Amino acid sequence: MMNEFQRLMAVEAAVKREMAKQDKAHDWFHIDRVRKMALKLQAIEGGDPHLIEMVALVHDVGDRKAHESEEAGRKATHSLLEKCGVGPRFASVVVDIAHRISFKGFHVPDDMPSLEGKIVQDADRLDAVGAIAIARTFTWGGAHDRPMYDPNMPPTPAKTAEEYYASGGATSVNHFHEKLLHLTDRMHTKTARALASERTEFMREYLERFMSEWNLSEDWEARVRLELHERSEDRRSYFDAKRKYIEEARAFINKGHKS
């Protein structure tokens, strides 16, 4: 008969194998960060730490994105737990909470009655806010052939879970506007809300910078090309204009990129 710790270790090993099949934004290290964050939140907010750790470990095993249906995902999680010696009743509790965790869209309210579930959901969402979240968003986008950014594709917040899964975020930058920048308001615990708010500030700064680099290079290059083209008949005027743009570019770089 396995004890609680041995079952936890067995689940950890099985989840490691399972997550190796998913994309690199949902790898074992994501699970491990969520588990550690959830246990930190538990220390402040309370709840059953064993249940929290189990839910954190399996919360992405049955992810909708990795399975044909929600039901198939539930079955996969349940069978992993049972294979690791977890009794069917506890396994059902864990599966029920785990499957309420994933984000189903901007306008879709959460359905998370237990404190343990709220804590793991907060921990999972905290991994979608901040510096690591930026890396995860572009990693996921790359793995799913999603453009980094496209000025012709404005963000569209999903009204239903179906709409959210169908669009999957047209670009990685849209995903920030459709989901990540709004996660602070969706945190259940005070501790997670404080952490999320600070991390969201950083993401906003990052996006501002992303847009300023994107727009600046476009505007500036277009203007330079046009003027150089207009003056190309007159050699002297052409070189004067070119010198002016080189100086402008140097001044811009020295200024430390604030436009």
Per CB under 5 A, does 178 bind Fe ion?
A: no
> Smallest distance from the beta carbon of 101 to Fe ion, in angstroms?
7
> Smallest distance from the beta carbon of 34 to Fe ion, in angstroms?
6
Return all residues near 6 (Cβ < 8 A) that are at least 6 apart.
Answer: 85
Return all residues near 167 (Cβ < 8 A) that are at least 6 apart.
Answer: 156, 158, 178
Nearer to Fe ion, 144 or 244 (CB): 144
Q: Considering only 90-98, 122-130, 132-140, 167-175, which stretch makes contact with Fe ion by CB under 5 A? A: 122-130
Per CB under 5 A, does 124 bind Fe ion?
A: yes
Cβ atoms 41, 51 nearer than 8 A: no
> Smallest distance from the beta carbon of 68 to Fe ion, in angstroms?
19
Nearer to Fe ion, 29 or 239 (CB): 29
Among 45, 60, 116, 122, indicate the residue that binds Fe ion (CB under 5 A): 60
Nearer to Fe ion, 7 or 26 (CB): 26
CA-derived radius of gyration, the chain: 24
Q: What gap in Å lies between CA 227 and CA 231, rounded to an integer?
A: 6
Nearer to Fe ion, 84 or 128 (CB): 128
Cβ atoms 127, 136 nearer than 8 A: yes
> Smallest distance from the beta carbon of 30 to Fe ion, in angstroms?
6
Q: Considering only 57-65, 73-81, 113-121, 150-158, which stretch makes contact with Fe ion by CB under 5 A? A: 57-65
> Smallest distance from the beta carbon of 117 to Fe ion, in angstroms?
13
> Smallest distance from the beta carbon of 69 to Fe ion, in angstroms?
19
Q: Considering only 5-13, 53-61, 201-209, 222-230, which stretch makes contact with Fe ion by CB under 5 A? A: 53-61
Nearer to Fe ion, 60 or 178 (CB): 60
Task: Fill in the per-residue mask, 84 to 113: x = in contact with Fe ion (CB under 5 A), - = not in contact.
Answer: ------------------------------
> Smallest distance from the beta carbon of 181 to Fe ion, in angstroms?
18
Nearer to Fe ion, 93 or 98 (CB): 98
Nearer to Fe ion, 140 or 176 (CB): 140
Q: What gap in Å lies between CA 152 and CA 154, rounded to an integer?
A: 6
Per CB under 5 A, does 45 bind Fe ion?
A: no
> What does residue 230 show for φ and ψ, rounded to 5 degrees?
-60, -35
Binding site for Fe ion (CB under 5 A): 60, 124
